Amino acid sequence: MESTQVVIIGGGATGAGILWDLSLRGIKAVLLEQKDLANGATGRCHGLLHSGGRYVVKDIEAARECLAENQFVKKIAPHCVHDVGGLFVQYPQDDPAFFRQWEEAARTVGLASQHLSAEETLDLEPHLPKNILGAFTCPDAHVDVFQLAQSNIESAVSRGGAFRTYSEVTAIGITDGRVRSVSYRDTRNGDEFQIGCDMVINASGGWAQKVASLAGVDVPVRCDKGSLLIFNHNLVSRVVNRCRKPGDADILVPAGPVCVLGTSSITVPTPDGLTADPDEIQHLLGLGAELIPVLAEARVLRIFSGARPLYVPKSAGAAGGREISRGFALLDHETLDHVKGFVSIVGGKLTTYRLMAEVTANLVAAKLGVNEPCRTTETPLRQTIDETVLSRARKLLPAQAASIAERRLGPNLARIVAAIERRPELAEIICECEQVTLAELEFVLGDETLVPIRALTDVGRRTRLGFGPCQGTFCGYKAMLAGYRSHRWSAAEASTEFEHYLDARWKGQSFVSHGKQVEQLYLSHDLFGVTYNFHDQNGQ
Amino acid sequence: MRQDDVSLDNCLKCSDCNTVCPMLAAHPGYPGPKHLGPELERLRREGLPCDSEWLEYCLGCHRCDLACPNQVNVSELIAAAKARHRKPFIRQVRDFWFARPGLLGKILSVAPAVTNAVLAAGAARFGMSRIMRITSERSFPPYAKPDLPSPQASLRASERLLFFPGCAIRYNQPELAKTVVALLQRNGFAPEISTAGCCGVPALANGDGQEARRRARSNVEAMDQAVENGATIVTACPSCGHMLKSGLAELLEDDPELEKRAKRIARHTYDLAELLMAQSDAGKLNTKFRKTDLQLAYHAPCHQLSQGIGRPWYHLLRQIPGVQIEDLDAGCCGMSGTFGFKEEKYPVSMAVGQRLFERIHEAAPKMVASECATCRMQIEHGAKVQAIHPAEVLLQAYER
Ligand SMILES: Cc1cc2nc3c(=O)[nH]c(=O)nc-3n(C[C@H](O)[C@H](O)[C@H](O)COP(=O)(O)OP(=O)(O)OC[C@H]3O[C@@H](n4cnc5c(N)ncnc54)[C@H](O)[C@@H]3O)c2cc1C
């Protein structure tokens, strides 16, 4: 039986952050994720790197935490962050008393903020409604959630950490009140495995309760569903928050080429199989148009839902989604439930993932008798890129493609550049919307990457391929062919991969009930369903 | 381009625009209108560096706009990107002048004989080619005193008409203005000649958005009063016509008042042949034609097609007894105004025109009729056949 010191369950930001932290301390760990990295809340969130502004009035501790982590993440992972800044906009329909409270609380927390007049604000963000009263600035940013999860894993792997995707934990072996092993099943081929270990960390977010039950332990987690709308292009250049008590659809985040509006807050029984319902979408769109009027006519690319894992200690009673603390809890099941070697980290936010990893790793290191301090606040997640590689890339690729590749690939850009220099045809742009080259695609499909994919649907999370307006209509097929040509998949496998790919891409679009995306979806249906005879599960 | 323009959202990535792009057909490296228009604009709004030298290769033919099934303002997006594009110094200086045929015309037509001698001199052309990157393969159109017919408001006018001549007619072919006026008079109109200057197409084509907007503003001011008083504007150059009909309003989008006036001008602007064809449809065209034995071929300029009025010249010329006319239907000629004069673009300009040249050779006409001055230049240069404005054919066909 394979063995390691620590098994981490869950490949979201928290689990990935823990793997990196442990690897930096020299602790051997294997991360198991039931699907692909960032399959859970991490890949289904706004990607707002909170400055704390959203919490200053209600929860000053959470605000302080966010502010500190905001600065750490910007420092250690600049390639994952669009440091765009944010605004808390004062709308005439909102409570002016809140504006004063906000300003005061921001000062108390030490949030760098400046008040802008209505004209100054409109100058920066012309899409805001003309009747706004002004805005406060704040250091909000966007963080690319897929990059962040991937970067933590990549760095961890280069330091000896290991991870396995499509590996669902099915049992936690306990003898004499102590965790001894973890069993998991490869969800792509059904193979069963077991790893011996000294400790197990439950970082499975909304699934934490279910995973904890494998060790006979109860972890009360409430799943709070939030739905998000992705718009085709950037309609704002900074994060726009509504300066009021946090509510639905009051944040618009410029997230790379797209922008993301959200969210709602609805308690659900499980994080699996979430969908947005039509009322919810109309509700979000209506409020979105209050935030930025042009959202009413802008193109929605897709709609998706995630579940916030909210920790509800038994004392919390029946409070609803937004009333429960967004703080996190580290549960040592040795002291709580007499199960040695088992800890859970639950709740929290994407923004605080590093801190959550730190406290978890501190506890685990102490239990393992490892005396290494946490170094994640000062160790960059990625090495800098060689200047000569950059200038070679700029010669080979158009300006925007070079700039995208540089941010996404980091030091791996050297491989892409060398590959294109050897075979110039690899400079072909396969995904036009997101400017992904054939060279990058082949790299992601190949064996040299430290974060290999297993399914065609994983390619988007590594490269953004298929994330633009056509939603994979034209590039998904080419990516499948590239996988076939590189002998990753046989013809039959490639075709199955593509069917799954289409299903996944179609699903997120099928909730968009209006506008150009409906036509886009029909184009894809007609092309692949009717013309190429790929099956069509949605029957649309 | 208005900041809140969301037409780029309409793009379904279907590539219909790419399939009709003459540059893409002639130049395999060209990324095509879909990329240079909506695709890059989306990434530009993310804040990425999106400049591309390929923007200089857009011919401005507007075929992409016609092909788009989804109302994306493809060429407008490209023109806006072109206006932000940074060029090396020499190309900047050259294109500054290419963007201002009105100013150039004013200067060069002071002493046309001298101008024409210099423009034809081998040594001068050699220098221009080396220093200014203006090809010496082509001859320049000769310059002439802008000797346009004076306003003829006293005639028994059935309607008030304002003829917008444009730079090519004003400075290079003023006799064509006389032809147009005579043709209109033969049909009962009493045209006056507008004093408005360059329409702004060359400025836009050379990436000078500011100059284009200046031209648009000044032309709206020059013609607004007449249009308000009920005048109709007539163009005989399809590029000027295209600009007055749709470009002005687009350029002035930032100023709602001017935009409104530009739209009014657009509603009252007609291509000469469009106007005559309307007369013909109403049974009012003067059809006292002599029998004229002439074998012609007709080339429809891109900016004629972009006006969405069919091919009125083709149908008018067919009404002349004895005239045999073939519609060449061979795409863009590749000249695109000043584009074909640029040293580095000359080869691709000729490559785009190849299809047309071959069609002309097959048709073997005595002359090619085409209403665009630079299409005619390209046809004479590339196919070595005489090219004339169809208005001349029509006027000559009238009985004396
Ligand atoms: C709509 C929405 C918007 C949000 N916006 C923001 C925001 O803007 N900013 C912010 O800071 N936070 C935001 N959040 C919160 C944030 O997304 C989460 O707090 C954070 O991503 C949680 O990360 P995680 O790694 O703990 O959990 P997850 O990302 O959910 O990871 C858990 C992982 O465990 C895996 N797993 C589960 N069971 C098993 C098993 N048996 N075996 C193996 N693997 C298993 C799952 O597949 C999953 O990948 C938002 C949340 C939602 C829902």
Centre of ligand 1 from the C-alpha of residue A347, in Å: 9
Four-way CATH pick for B287-397: 3.40.50, 1.10.10, 2.30.30, 1.10.3470: 3.40.50
Ligand 1: residue whose CA is nearest its atom 2: A45
Confidence at A315, pLDDT banded by 50, 70, 90: low
Which B residues in the span 42-71 are in contact with A, Cβ-Cβ below 8 Å? 42-52, 70
Alpha carbon distances (Å) from B250 to A233, B70, B258: 22, 18, 11
Nearest Cα residue in chain A from B2: A126
pLDDT in tens, B332-360: 999 999 999 999 999 999 999 999 999 99
Mean pLDDT of A182-199: 98
Q: What are the CA-CA distances from residue A135 to residues A90, A91, A123, B368 (Å)? A: 5, 9, 12, 64
Could you tell me which residues come within 8 angstroms of residue A250 by beta carbon, excluding any fewer than 6 positions away? Answer: A241, A242, A244, A287, A291
Res A540: pLDDT: 41
Q: Which helix (H) or strand (E) holds A64?
A: helix A60-76
What is the pLDDT, as a whole number, of residue A314? 66
Tell me the C-alpha distance between A209 and A217, whole Å: 8
A187 has a chain B CB within 8 A of its CB: no
Q: CA–CA separation, A417 vs A387, rounded Å?
A: 12
Q: Give dist(CA A497, CA A457) in Å, integer.
A: 8
Q: What digits encode the pLDDT tens for the residues B275-313?
A: 999 999 999 999 999 999 999 999 999 999 999 999 999
Q: How far is it, in rounded angstroms, from Cα A292 to Cα A285?
A: 10
Give the DSSP letter string of A190-212.
--EEEEE-SEEEE--GGGHHHHH
Asked whether the beta carbons of residue A398 and residue B52 sit closer than 8 angstroms, the reply is yes
Cα(B340)–Cα(B349) distance, rounded to whole angstroms?
5
Determine the distance separating the centroid of ligand 1 and the alpha carbon of A32, expressed in angstroms.
15
- Give yes or no for residue B254 having a pLDDT over 80: yes
* Ligand 1 midpoint to CA A156 (Å): 19
- pLDDT at residue B398 tops 60: yes
Give the position of tokens 């704002």: A236
Q: B198-235 burial, b for 16+ CB within 10 Å, e for fewer?
A: bbbbbbbbbbbbebbbbbbbebbebbeebbeeebbbbb
Residue % of chain B over a pLDDT of 70: 96
- Look at residues A239, A52, A243 and name the one whose alpha carbon lies nearest to residue A141: A239
A331 alpha carbon – ligand 1 mean position (Å):
17
Model confidence at A312: pLDDT above 90: no
| Cβ pair B42:A233 closer than 8 A | yes
Per the CB < 8 Å rule, is A257 touching B46?
Answer: yes
Confidence of residue A513 (pLDDT cuts 50, 70, 90): confident
Q: Per DSSP, which regions of A434-501 are E strands?
A: 436-437
Reduce the DSSP state of residue A233 to 3 states and report it: coil
Whether B29 has its CB under 8 Å from any CB of chain A: the answer is no
With a Cβ cut-off of 6 Å, ligand 1 is lined by A 9-15, 32-35, 39-42, 44-48, 50, 168-169, 203-207, 211, 226, 228, 262-263, 306-309, 348-351
- Hey, are the CB atoms on B51 and A399 less than 8 Å from each other? yes
How would DSSP label each residue in B46-106? Answer: TT-----GGGGG-----HHHHH-TT---HHHHHHHHHHH----HHHHHHHHHHT-HHHHHH
How distant is the Cα of A506 from the closest Cα of chain B, in angstroms? 15
Report how far residue A464's alpha carbon sits from residue A467's, in angstroms, rounded to the nearest whole number: 5
Separation of CA A67 from chain center? 19
Residues of B in contact with A125 (CB under 8 A): none
pLDDT higher than 80, residue A319: no
Choose the mutation target among B16, B43, B44, B53 for the interface with A, i.e. most A CBs under 10 Å: B43
| Tokens at B230, concatenated | 């009920």
Looking at this protein, which amino acid is placed at residue A430? I
Q: Can you read off the two tokens belonging to residue A382?
A: 């990625």
A121-174 pLDDT, tens digit each: 999 999 999 999 999 999 999 999 999 999 999 999 999 999 999 999 999 999
Closest in A294, A399, A516 to B12, CB measured: A516
Closest atom of ligand 1 relative to the A168 alpha carbon: 42
- Between CA A475 and CA A441 the distance in angstroms is 11
Residue in A with minimal Cα distance to B12: A520
Residue A9 CA to ligand 1 centre (angstroms): 12
Percent of chain B with pLDDT over 90: 90
pLDDT higher than threshold 80 for residue B389: yes
Q: Using one digit for the tens of pLDDT, what is the confidence trace for B155-211?
A: 444 458 999 999 999 999 999 999 999 999 999 998 999 989 999 999 999 999 999
Structure tokens at B228: 């308000």
- Nearest-atom number in ligand 1 for the CA of A306 is 53
pLDDT at position B148: 83
* pLDDT recorded at residue A318: 47
- Pairwise CB contact (< 8 Å): A432 & B39: yes
Which residue in the block uniquely carries the two structure tokens 């013809």?
A: A491
Q: What is the pLDDT of residue B151?
A: 62
Q: What is the predicted pLDDT for the residue at A325?
A: 56
Q: Is B18 helix (H, G, I), strand (E, B) or coil?
A: helix
Residue A324 has pLDDT above 80, yes or no: no
Instruction: Give the amino acid at B239.
Output: S
Query: Does residue B152 carry a pLDDT above 70?
Result: no
Mean pLDDT of chain A: 94
For B106-140, the pLDDT digits (tens) are 999 999 999 999 999 999 999 999 999 999 999 99
Atom of ligand 1 nearest to the CA of A214: 41
Range from A312-321, B317-326, B333-342 carrying the lowest mean pLDDT: A312-321
H helix and E strand count, chain B: 23, 8
What pLDDT sits at residue A536? 54
Amino acid at A366: A
The answer for B 104-143 residues in CB contact with A (under 8 A) is none
Closest CA relative to residue A154, chosen from A437, A497, A489, A461: A461
Can the peptide bond before residue A263 be classed as cis, meaning omega within 30 degrees of 0?
Answer: yes
Which amino acid belongs to residue A33?
Answer: E
pLDDT band at B52 (very low <50, low <70, confident <90, very high): very high
Helix (H) or strand (E) holding A303: strand A300-311
Contact B237, B166 (CB under 8 A): yes
- For A404, residues 6+ apart whose C-beta sits below 8 A from its C-beta are A434, A435, B48
Q: How far is Cα A251 from Cα A263, in angstroms, rounded to an integer?
A: 7
**Looking at beta carbons, which residues of chain A come within 8 Å of B31?**
398
Nearest chain A CA: its distance from B123 CA (Å):
37
Q: Is the pLDDT of residue A460 over 60?
A: yes
B87-109+144-285: CATH topology is Glutathione S-transferase Yfyf (Class Pi); Chain A, domain 2 (1.20.1050)
pLDDT band at A511 (very low <50, low <70, confident <90, very high): confident
List, for residues B232-247, the tens digit of each pLDDT value.
Answer: 999 999 999 999 999 9
Per-residue tokens: A298: 């802008």
Whether the ipTM is more than 0.85: the answer is: yes
Closest residue in chain B to residue A475, using alpha carbons only: B13
Q: At residue A98, does pLDDT exceed 50?
A: yes
Cβ separation A520–B9 shorter than 8 A: no
Question: What is the CB-side half-sphere exposure of residue A199 using CA atoms within 13 A?
Answer: 27
Task: Say yes or no to pLDDT of A400 above 70.
Answer: yes
Average pLDDT, chain B: 93
**Best B4, B8, B12, B44 residue to mutate vs chain A (most A CBs within 10 Å):** B12
Provide the percentage of residues in chain A whose pLDDT is more than 70.
Answer: 96
Question: Reduced to 3 states, what is the DSSP secondary structure of residue B193?
Answer: strand
User: B1 to chain A nearest CA, in Å?
Assistant: 14
Say whether pLDDT at A60 is over 60: yes
Tell me which H or E stretch contains A179. strand A178-186
Residue appearing with tokens 């193109």: A299
Residues of chain B within CATH 3.40.50 domain(s) are 287-397
Indicate if the pLDDT at residue B381 is higher than 60.
yes
A355 alpha carbon to ligand 1 midpoint, in Å? Answer: 15
| Residue A370 scores a pLDDT above 70 | yes
Q: Is the pLDDT of residue A221 over 90?
A: yes
| Residue extent(s) of CATH 1.20.1050 domains in chain B | 87-109+144-285
Instruction: State which ligand 1 atom lies nearest to the alpha carbon of A184.
Output: 42
> A348-361 burial string, b = 16+ CB within 10 Å, else e?
bbbbbbbbbbbbbb
Do B10 and A516 make contact, defined as CB atoms within 8 angstroms? yes
The pLDDT value recorded for residue B154 is 43
- Structure tokens belonging to residue A339: 């199960």
Q: Which residues of A touch B49 (CB under 8 A)?
A: 399-400, 403
Check residue A125 and give its pLDDT. Answer: 96
Give the pLDDT score at A367: 97
- Are the Cβ atoms of B3 and A254 closer than 8 angstroms? no
Q: Report the C-alpha gap between A470 and B345 in whole angstroms.
A: 33
